[in-house]
């Protein structure tokens, strides 16, 4: 699927033209970007409260496999 995203400001003049252009191509969908307001990523404090943690379960002490090669006896 291919999305042809039009900015809200250009949608009145381009939306019908783009629909007509891609009407024979089922892989293309024309949509209008409806987001509004300030872009939140501009602020350098985003994500500041997020705590990083280890998601894997901890092993029991002493349960690690032996990594030494076998002796050449």
What tens-digit pLDDT sequence spans the chain (73 residues)? Answer: 999 999 999 999 999 999 999 999 999 999 999 988 877 666 666 556 667 777 787 777 777 777 788 787 6
Q: What is the pTM of this model?
A: 0.50
Q: From its phi and psi, is residue 28 left (phi > 0), alpha (psi between -120 and 50) or beta?
A: beta
- Residue 11, judged by CB atoms within 10 A of its CB (0-12, 13-18, 19+), counts as middle
* pLDDT score, position 20: 96
Q: Where are the domains of the chain?
A: 2-34
Q: How far apart are CA 28 and CA 20, in angstroms?
A: 11
């Amino acid at each position: 699927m291919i999305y042809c995203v039009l900015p809200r400001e250009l949608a009145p003049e381009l939306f019908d033209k783009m629909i007509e252009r891609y009407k024979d191509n089922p892989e293309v969908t024309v949509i209008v970007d409806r987001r509004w307001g300030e872009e939140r990523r501009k602020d350098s404090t985003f994500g500041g409260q997020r705590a990083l943690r280890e998601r894997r379960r901890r092993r029991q002490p002493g349960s690690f496999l032996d990594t030494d090669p076998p002796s050449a006896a």
